[in-house]
Amino acid sequence: MSEKPKFAMYWAASCGGCEIAVLNIDEKILDVDANFEVVFWPVAMDAKYKDLEAMEDGSILLTLFNGGIRNDENEYLAKLLRRKSKILVAFGSCACEGCVPGLANLSPAEEIITTAFHTVSTDNPNGVHPQPTYKAPEGELHIPRLLPVLKTLDQVVEVDYYMPGCPPESHQIAAVIDLVIQVLQGKAELPPKGTVIGAGISTVCDECPRKRNVKTIKSFTRIFGQPLDPELCLLEQGIPCNGIATRSGCGARCPSAGAQCIGCYGPAEGVLDYGARLITAYASVVDANEPDEIERILDGIPDLVGQFYRFNLAGSLLKAGQTAWKPNGGNGR
Amino acid sequence: MTQRITIDPITRLEGHGKIEIFLNEEGEVANTYFQIPELRGFERFCVGRPIEEMPLLTNRICGVCPEAHHMAAAKAADAVYHVDPPRTAKMLRELLYSAFYVTDHTTHFYALAGPDFVMGPDAPVAERNILGVIHKVGLEIGSKVIRARKYGHTVVEIIGGRKVHPCTSIPGGLTKGITEEQRLEILEMGKWAVEFAQFSLKLFSDIVLSNKAYVDLILGDIYTHRTYYIGTVDENNRVNFYDGKVSVVDPQGNRIGKYAPHEYTEWIAEHVEPWTYLKFPYLKKVGWKGFVDGKDSGVYCATPLSRLNAADGMATPRAQEEYERFYATLGGKPVHQRLATHWARLIELLYAAERWVELASDPEVAGPNFHTVPTEMPTEGVGIVEAPRGTLTHHYRTDERGIVTKANLIVGTTNNYAPISMSINKAARTLIKKGQQITEPILNMIEMAFRPYDPCFGCATHTLPGQMPLEVTIRNAQGEVVQVLKR
């Protein structure tokens, strides 16, 4: 019996939704088992960092890496898995572009700690904060150190493929697994390095079942503020829906359920900066010529940075807010 | 000579975690530290975002229980806008939530906790997993487990728009309702779920309760802590996952009070230690006295067992029968033996399935009135639901445009950080004896101390599921390795 190719999956700073999405491919998971030897997947099996360290470089064929790089332990594991893997996939929004936790890059890392350890219910009169190294009476204790900003996987190591989504849809995961198995059987070829896999090449709007007319809007409005037409395009109804700049592949799930697209599949094919594209798209539908009127309409979007960079701040051209880069006047990084 | 044992990372829990055990010169346990290594900072970056996005952004705290964060945030957003969603909206949310509970409790029992009982705590490592369980109890059960997860996720998707990270709850209700056909489909799946829950309880009874060694293990002192308990109850003091007041009972089982969501800061405070990224909640009225149990220590527990202890019963008939049997078998209320949490979880599984059927049986759940447009000025609000792993509190303050200016989150597992630490400490002290070789089954018995809590440190670190590696290194005071034990 020939040796099966090795498979690994790891989460860094993530929520576990990517792991659940993989489990949700149901019986397809048996194909993974039949075609691969799973060597490292903390969610599903016993294996440890030391086992991984002992493997030969390049001995794992395929690693799906989810989660952003938030601390020095995440960074270490990213570098280790890169070395051990032939194909490294940035799996899910966090690894691809930072996702919601990337919004932390709007403020210095110290503020994350200060905020969390001084909330209304926290009893902390002495201002105790977690210490990467702490001398307990019995010996020294260690916890990882936060990096100044959250990084995407490709800001730390070279990435072969990107699989977007928060989380990637299970039917897309199943399709990618089918493709890899076909490649193994010599029936298909891998796409060029750097390709976005498991997603479409157009926008969420192209998959959306809602009716579209010529879009012009006189004001933006909030999703809960009025009854909405269940069949008409949300953006036409003034809801700041992100479908227009967001990559297709999810099947337009949120707009189909009456909720605006929040952009979890990342920038559409060929878009360099998601926020810039979305700003352009919104600007083109604003039905006004006077600067004051334009300003009034755009004021209807209550949180500009969140609207334009909700899932992509860490992976965008901006990467972080100015204060995160320069928390103490310029020496923050 | 001080020795150190490191368990890093511990296995079959949901997220990252590390246990440090220090031995004294006599080779007995001097102290233990259970450390959480991660912090993502949701309380910071939720500030500046619109309140209606909290049910979407805080989902990303945890992909295992996004439904809980979605609901707690949505309820907090209702409160911020002083809006009471229509009955159909509340029913839809609770229906989604009940189906989610069936999925979540099923996963925990069969994949995470089940192996210890079905296979036995000292079974070979290679068999002590979900595949071992399926081997032993049969493939047919494996397919039932997959079906239970699938049905639950299907309901989440029908009502919540997506299987993972639902998107439909907004201030005042939901963005959509369901059709009559969908209601009937959901009802049929719910009826199957009730049968599945009854089957699971019977399985537990046959394998665990009829085995004296297991019952002795459950009732033994290793896994017992006399703490306070909290859990949400309805107006009749029955367990409720979606809405109600939080009931607090003391170690004797006496109810010392009930608090509404907006009163939580009068009851709960959080203690800070410098060696971990997670805080230790405790009962403010009793006070933080360190990692000790008893009536004078504010340490409390919020788990399936806690919810049963904090309530007077279950709101559905079959679950109520099981509730009565539970306390009759274990010698009355409250039950302090942490391993009984696994049984309590299955009683909750049955309740969730029965509630699913109850809600889906009411035609109003498919009604057109699923949203009330908020009209009041937004201010401040607290939303509480029972996450599977404990009481979940979301608290937001906003400006007059509904932009979040302060956020505070006390999540399910965090509630139990102190009791989990104490359980690990006690198990280590009981099981590690001087001069005795530390074996793999002993380490697993230490890990069994935290598994009843089903800890999810994805959530807790606003920071996942399954089996992680385990390695124990024993070092002497000079840092030399004395013994290494690997799984």
The tens-digit pLDDT sequence of chain A (333 residues) is 458 899 998 888 888 899 889 878 877 777 887 888 888 776 666 566 777 889 999 999 999 999 999 999 899 999 999 999 999 999 999 999 999 999 999 999 999 999 999 999 999 999 999 999 999 988 889 889 999 999 999 999 999 999 999 999 999 999 999 999 999 899 999 999 999 999 999 999 999 999 999 888 999 999 999 999 999 999 999 999 999 999 999 999 999 999 999 999 999 999 999 999 999 999 999 999 899 999 999 999 999 999 999 999 999 999 988 777 665 544 433
CB–CB of B458 and A258 under 8 A?
no
Residue of A106, A119, A167 with shortest CB distance to B43: A119
When scoring A38, A46, A65, A106 by the number of chain B Cβ atoms within 10 A, the one with the most, hence best to mutate, is A46
C-alpha span between A130 and A139 (Å, rounded): 16
Establish if A17 touches chain B: CB-CB under 8 angstroms: yes
Q: Is the pLDDT of residue B285 over 80?
A: yes
Residue of A103, A115, A136 with shortest CB distance to B275: A136
CB–CB of A130 and B276 under 8 A?
yes
Task: Give yes or no for a contact between B351 and B357, defined as CB atoms under 8 angstroms apart.
Answer: no
DSSP per position, A294-319: HHHHHTTSS-HHHHHHTTTTTTSSS-
Mean pLDDT score, B286-314: 96
Say what the pLDDT of residue B131 is.
60
Whole-model pTM above 0.90? yes
Say what the pLDDT of residue B467 is.
33
CB–CB of A121 and B408 under 8 A?
yes
Question: b vs e for B80-109, b when ≥16 Cβ sit within 10 Å of the residue's Cβ?
Answer: bbebebbebbbbbbbbbbbbbbbbbbbbbb
Interface of B with A in 167-186 (CB under 8 A): 167-168, 170-172, 174-176
The amino acid occupying position B75 is K
Contacts of A138 in chain B (CB under 8 A): 2, 4, 22, 30-31
Q: What is the DSSP letter of B26?
A: T
C-alpha span between B69 and B58 (Å, rounded): 6
Contacts of B81 in chain A (CB under 8 A): 224
CB–CB of B275 and A138 under 8 A?
no
ipTM of the assembly? 0.94
Interface of B with A in 30-59 (CB under 8 A): 30-31, 33, 35-45, 47-50, 52-53, 56-57, 59
Tokens of B223: 């896994």
Confidence of residue B273 (pLDDT cuts 50, 70, 90): very high
Length of chain A: 333
Say what the pLDDT of residue B464 is.
29
Confidence of residue B4 (pLDDT cuts 50, 70, 90): confident
Say what the pLDDT of residue B459 is.
42
Say what the pLDDT of residue B456 is.
55
In chain A the domains, ranked by start, together with CATH numbers, are 6-101+148-184 (3.40.50.700), 200-302 (no CATH)
Query: Residue ranges of the domains in chain B?
Result: 3-40+416-486, 84-220+337-367
Contacts of A104 in chain B (CB under 8 A): 40-41, 44-45
Say what the pLDDT of residue B451 is.
73
C-alpha span between B110 and A162 (Å, rounded): 33
Cβ contacts from A onto B, under 8 A: 274
CATH of domain B84-220+337-367: 1.10.645.10
Say what the pLDDT of residue B458 is.
43
Q: Is the pLDDT of residue B303 over 90?
A: yes
Establish if A118 touches chain B: CB-CB under 8 angstroms: no
Interface of A with B in 268-287 (CB under 8 A): none
Extended beta strands in B140-204, E state: 169-170, 173-174
Tell me the C-alpha to C-alpha distance, in Å, between residue A98 and each of A40, A87, A323.
23, 20, 18
Residue of A13, A121, A131 with shortest CB distance to B269: A121
CB–CB of B167 and A262 under 8 A?
yes
pLDDT in tens, B357-375: 999 999 999 999 999 999 9
Interface of B with A in 247-306 (CB under 8 A): 264-265, 268-277, 279, 281, 284, 288
pLDDT in tens, B10-21: 543 445 667 888
Residue of B165, B170, B272 with shortest CB distance to A166: B165
- Return the H-helix or E-strand segment holding B271: strand B268-271
Establish if A113 touches chain B: CB-CB under 8 angstroms: yes
Say what the pLDDT of residue A49 is.
73
Helix (H, G, I), strand (E, B) or coil at A192: coil
Mean pLDDT score, B158-166: 96
Mean pLDDT score, B6-10: 61
Between A105 and B486, the more confident residue is A105
Say what the pLDDT of residue B124 is.
62
Q: Average pLDDT, whole number, for chain B?
A: 87
Contacts of B22 in chain A (CB under 8 A): 136, 138-139
pLDDT in tens, B460-474: 433 222 333 334 455
Residue B200, Cβ density class (10 Å: 0-12 exposed, 13-18 middle, ≥19 buried): buried
Say what the pLDDT of residue A52 is.
85
Mean pLDDT score, B413-430: 90
Tokens of B304: 């399936």
Residue of A101, A138, A258 with shortest CB distance to B2: A138
C-alpha span between B257 and B228 (Å, rounded): 12
Among chain B residues, CA nearest to A309? B49
CB–CB of A146 and B39 under 8 A?
yes
Residue from A47, A43, A44, A11 nearest B470 by CA = A47
Cα-based torsion angle of the residue sequence A144, A150, A156, A158 in order, rounded to the nearest 10 degrees: 130
Between A283 and B396, the more confident residue is B396
pLDDT in tens, B197-237: 999 999 889 888 888 888 888 888 888 999 999 999 999 99
Establish if A234 touches chain B: CB-CB under 8 angstroms: no
When scoring A10, A14, A15 by the number of chain B Cβ atoms within 10 A, the one with the most, hence best to mutate, is A15
